[in-house]
Amino acid sequence: MELYGEMHEEIRNSVREFVRRKLMPISSKIDAEDHFPVELFREMGRLGFLGITVPEQYGGSGMDYISQAIIEEELGYASASFALSYGAHSNLCLDSLWRNGNQKQREEYVPRLCSGEWIGSLGLTEPTSGSDALAMKTEAKKVDNGYVIKGSKTLITNAPYADLVLTYARTGSGFTPFVVLSDDRGFSRGNKFTKMGMRGSPTGELFFDSIFLPSDRIVGKENEGRNVILGGLNSERVILSFIFLGIAKRALELSLSYASSRTQSGQPIERFELIQEKLSYMYTRYRSSRFLCEDALRRVTADRMDGLSAASAILYTAESAEYIAREAIQIHGGYGYIRDFEVERLLRDAILGQIGAGTTEIRKHIVARELSKRFSENGRIPE
Ligand X SMILES: Cc1cc2nc3c(=O)[nH]c(=O)nc-3n(C[C@H](O)[C@H](O)[C@H](O)COP(=O)(O)OP(=O)(O)OC[C@H]3O[C@@H](n4cnc5c(N)ncnc54)[C@H](O)[C@@H]3O)c2cc1C
Tell whether residue 248 is a contact of ligand X (CB under 6 A).
no
Q: Residue 94 Cβ, how far from ligand X at the closest point, in Å?
A: 13
Secondary structure of residue 189 in the 3-state scheme: strand
CA 40 to chain centre: 18
Q: Residue 129 Cβ, how far from ligand X at the closest point, in Å?
A: 7
DSSP for 7-35 reads HHHHHHHHHHHHIIIIIGGGHHHHHHTT-
Q: Which of 72, 73, 205, 236 is catalytic?
A: 236
x/- string (CB under 6 A) for ligand X, residues 143-182? ------------xxx-------------------------
x/- string (CB under 6 A) for ligand X, residues 72-101? ----------------x-------------
Residue number of the CB closest to ligand X reads 130
Q: Rounded distance, CA 310 to CA 303, Å? A: 11
DSSP symbol at 159: G
193 close to 68: Cβ distance less than 8 angstroms: no
CA 39 to chain centre: 20
Q: Residue 314 Cβ, how far from ligand X at the closest point, in Å?
A: 12
To the query of whether residue 236 is one of the catalytic residues in this protein, the response is yes
Residues between 13 and 52 that touch ligand X (CB under 6 A):
none
Q: Residue 261 Cβ, how far from ligand X at the closest point, in Å?
A: 34
Q: Residue 356 Cβ, how far from ligand X at the closest point, in Å?
A: 5
Secondary structure of residue 62 in the 3-state scheme: coil
Give 130 or 268: the residue with its C-beta nearer to ligand X.
Answer: 130
Nearest of 277, 288, 293, 285 to residue 251 by alpha carbon? 285
The residues near 88 (Cβ < 8 Å, ≥ 6 apart) are 120, 121, 122, 157, 158, 201
171 close to 228: Cβ distance less than 8 angstroms: no
φ/ψ of 177, rounded to 5, equals -85, 140
Q: Which of the stretches 97-105, 123-131, 283-291, 311-319 binds ligand X when contact is defined by CB under 6 A?
A: 123-131
Q: Indicate the residue type of 140.
A: A
Give 195 or 249: the residue with its C-beta nearer to ligand X.
Answer: 195
Give 203 or 255: the residue with its C-beta nearer to ligand X.
Answer: 203
Regarding beta strands 120-123 and 164-171, do their DSSP bridges make them parallel or antiparallel, or are they unpaired? parallel
H helices, E strands: number in the chain? 13, 9
Q: Which of 125, 171, 234, 301 binds ligand X (CB under 6 A)?
A: 125
Give 237 or 278: the residue with its C-beta nearer to ligand X.
Answer: 237
Tell me the site size for ligand X, rule CB under 6 A: 22
Give 275 or 352: the residue with its C-beta nearer to ligand X.
Answer: 352
Q: Which of the stretches 124-132, 176-184, 282-290, 295-303 binds ligand X when contact is defined by CB under 6 A?
A: 124-132
Terminal-residue alpha carbon distance, the chain: 16
Residues between 323 and 362 that touch ligand X (CB under 6 A):
352, 355-356, 358-359, 361-362
Q: Residue 76 Cβ, how far from ligand X at the closest point, in Å?
A: 14
Q: Residue 278 Cβ, how far from ligand X at the closest point, in Å?
A: 27
Give 279 or 362: the residue with its C-beta nearer to ligand X.
Answer: 362
Nearest of 147, 153, 144 to residue 178 by alpha carbon? 147
Q: Rounded distance, CA 115 to CA 166, Å? A: 17
Residues between 188 and 207 that touch ligand X (CB under 6 A):
195, 198, 203
Q: Check residue 379 and give left, alpha or beta (phi > 0: left; psi -120 to 50: alpha).
A: left
Give 205 or 270: the residue with its C-beta nearer to ligand X.
Answer: 205
Q: Which residues bind ligand X (CB under 6 A)?
A: 88, 121-125, 130-131, 155-157, 195, 198, 203, 352, 355-356, 358-359, 361-362, 365
Residues with catalytic function: 236
